Amino acid sequence: MNETRPAEFSGESRIHIGLAVKNLDQSVDFYQNLFGQSPVKMRPNYAKFSVAQPPINLAINAVGGDTAPIHPVSHFGIEVKSTDTVIETADRLRQAGVATEEQNHVSCCYAVQNKVWAADPDGNQWEVYVVLDDDAAQHHSSAEDCCTVDCCSDEESPADCADCN
């Protein structure tokens, strides 16, 4: 399988960071000022910055409101340009004895992706992924997929959340 998409970043990969934030508006304002640009995607409880310099894909996810406990790092990732690179990475990790989880054609961060997940020795989650379609209708397809954030937002109907609990 050799699925690719026209990527909007130079080189063959870039770092991806998913942050859980208490207040999306305040965080969007901060990162707009930090990067000198607006998000490339805004959805309920979600914003994405695609920055050329430094090459980074930053996704911020609002969780639980101002009083919720927060774990600022949701996950780390490396965005690549082809499914072949995802498969090669998965194979390399497995050969090194690292447990992996592959996901194909999942809807995550409002995009359809192929990916492999692995945890570092301290339990930090890393994903290596390729975006197949950057404009998916939903954040993720099940409670186990994507970004380690709550499946159901206030804007989703109960039917959309059938797989969440």
Per-residue pLDDT tens digits for 59-73: 998 887 666 666 678
1 lies in some domain: no
Look at the chain and report how many structural domains it folds into: 1
- Structural domain harbouring 48: 13-161
Using CA atoms, how far apart are residues 141 and 138, in angstroms rounded to an integer?
Answer: 7
Say yes or no to pLDDT of 118 above 90: yes
Rounded to two decimals, what is the model's pTM? 0.66
4 lies in some domain: no
29 lies in some domain: yes
End-to-end CA distance of the chain: 33
142 lies in some domain: yes
5 lies in some domain: no
- Count of C-beta atoms within a 10 Å radius of residue 35: 17
**How sure is the predictor about 158, in pLDDT bands with cuts at 50, 70 and 90?**
very low
Q: Domain with 43 in it: what CATH number?
A: 3.10.180.10
State both tokens at 96. Answer: 């090194």
Closest by CA position to 92, among listed 104, 78, 106, 105: 78
pLDDT single digits (tens) 74-112: 889 999 999 999 999 999 999 999 999 999 999 888 899
157 lies in some domain: yes
Q: Which residue has the higher pLDDT, 22 or 158?
A: 22
Tell me the pLDDT of the chain averaged across its residues.
78
48 lies in some domain: yes
83 lies in some domain: yes
Say yes or no to pLDDT of 58 above 60: yes
* Beta strand segments in the chain, E: 13-21, 41-43, 46-51, 56-62, 73-80, 101-108, 111-119, 125-133
Q: Find the range with the poorest average confidence among 10-14, 78-82, 118-122.
A: 118-122
